[in-house]
Amino acid sequence: MKTRITEMLGIKHPIVQGGMHFVGFAEMAAAVSNAGGLGIITALTQRTPADLANEIARCRDMTDKPIGVNLTFLPSVNQPDYPGYVKAIIEGGVKVVETAGNNPVQVLPVLKDNGIKVVHKCTAVRHALKAQKIGCDAVSVDGFECGGHPGEDDVPNFILLPRAMDELEIPFIASGGMADGRSLVAAMALGAEGMNMGTRFIATKEAPVHENVKQALVAASELDTRLVMRPLRNTERVLTNPAVERLLQKEKELGSNIKFEDIIEEVAGVYPKIMLDGQMDAGAWSCGMVAGLIYDIPTCKELIDRIMAEAEEIITKRLAGFVKG
């Protein structure tokens, strides 16, 4: 499949692996890129810009295909060294950056000056339009289904994607709830020129996370995610577990008086415990409703090849059959 996204990012298949905290290490990104998609390293999982530079170099040793880096701007007490991370990205020869969380205007000029394509991930058409206006090359449009931060508008992809198509001139990638060939064809029908997957890529052989995480995704259904931190206007879709239910109980009891400090035990510093140590009840971790469509743990190449074969079959046989009558 050739789309404006495959051309822009220099990839074979229109499939991107979204940045994921404590998942987007070199091994993950290299496996997706070697399979013909775009693998993305998550900058803020690396403690310092020097660590990011090292991670990019490790990834380069594992693939000669294009790779990307995710730069997330989220509310945080101690602001990360963004200029340092940007320098590591540029010096590492990375050609694609996925920005998320907030308007990337502060890093855009330097990235563009260095020939880097910027794909801004956002959850609302108005934010996508803003990204287009400030000069982003493409956007990822992340629907309400998505794992991680779906924003506060709650618009699912069946509405959000065609709305994006109606408004945008730059190409866009569909994100949130994508799992298979059906997702890809549907996303393309709704106007996207590629798809971004987070949760689905965690349940792959190469994902550098504990086996417990992968098994939790296979076991989970589409009913098993919860929205936390809505009262703080920092909504996150996570897989339920006792810590998440405790967090929701606190939200119910404290109402609008809730502060970040009240839930710190359930959300702060939990990713290494879950992703690396497999302590599945350690706290809240991002997971999409798409968990309900995850039945196995293939390699990234098996997954991507399967998606592309299924998409082609749907387009050329199932859908073509309908119009032939």
Ligand X SMILES: Cc1cc2nc3c(=O)[nH]c(=O)nc-3n(C[C@H](O)[C@H](O)[C@H](O)COP(=O)(O)O)c2cc1C
Pick 268 or 320: Cβ nearer ligand X:
268
x/- site string to ligand X, residues 35 to 74, per CB under 6 A?
A: -------x---------------------------x-x--
Closer of 39 and 198 to ligand X (Cβ): 198
Query: Nearer Cβ to ligand X, position 159 or 254?
Result: 159
Query: Does 183 sit near ligand X (CB under 6 A)?
Result: no
For ligand X, the closer of residues 78 and 257 by Cβ is 78
**Judged by CB under 6 A, how many residues of this single chain contact ligand X?**
29
In the bound state with ligand X, the residue whose beta carbon lies nearer, of 137 and 142, is: 142
Q: Tell me: does residue 177 bind ligand X (CB under 6 A).
A: yes
Residue 79 per-residue DSSP state: -
Q: Spell out a b/e string for 108-118, using b for 16 or more CB atoms within 10 Å of the CB, else e.
A: beebeeeebbb
Site for ligand X in 78-107 (CB under 6 A): 100
Distance, in Å, from the CA atom of 109 to the CA atom of 118, rounded to the nearest integer, reads 10
CA atoms within 13 A on the CB side of 99: 27
Choose the binding region for ligand X from 27-35, 172-180, 214-222, 316-324 (rule: CB under 6 A).
172-180
Nearer residue to ligand X within complex by CB, 233 or 324: 233
CA–CA gap between residue 55 and residue 128 (Å, rounded): 29
Q: C-alpha distances in angstroms, 162 versus 166, 167, 187, 251?
A: 6, 9, 9, 34
Stretch that binds ligand X, among 78-86, 195-203, 253-261, 312-320 (CB under 6 A): 195-203
How far is residue 256 from each of residues 229, 233, 264, 306, measured CA to CA in Å?
11, 11, 16, 46
Residues 6+ apart with CB under 8 A from 286: 20, 21, 147, 148, 149, 198, 199, 236, 237, 238
Residue 175 touching ligand X (CB under 6 A): yes
User: Which of 18, 36, 191, 194 is the binder for ligand X (CB under 6 A)?
Assistant: 18
Which amino acid appears at position 301 of this protein?
K
Position of minimal CB gap to ligand X:
198
Contact flag: residue 214 with ligand X (CB under 6 A):
no
Q: Does residue 274 contact residue 213 with C-beta atoms inside 8 Å? A: yes
One-letter amino acid at 268 equals: A
Residues numbered 260-319 forming contacts with ligand X, rule: CB under 6 A? 285-288, 290
Counted residue by residue, the chain has a size of: 325
Interface map 112-151 toward ligand X (x if CB under 6 A): ---------x--------------------x--xxxx---
Q: b/e per residue, 168-207, with b = 16+ CB within 10 A?
A: bebbbbbbbbbbbbebbbbbbebbbbbbbbbbbbbbbebb
* Of 5-13, 130-138, 169-177, 297-305: span binding ligand X (CB under 6 A): 169-177
- Which spans of this chain sit near ligand X (rule: CB under 6 A)? 18-21, 23, 42, 70, 72, 100, 121, 142, 145-148, 175-178, 196-200, 285-288, 290
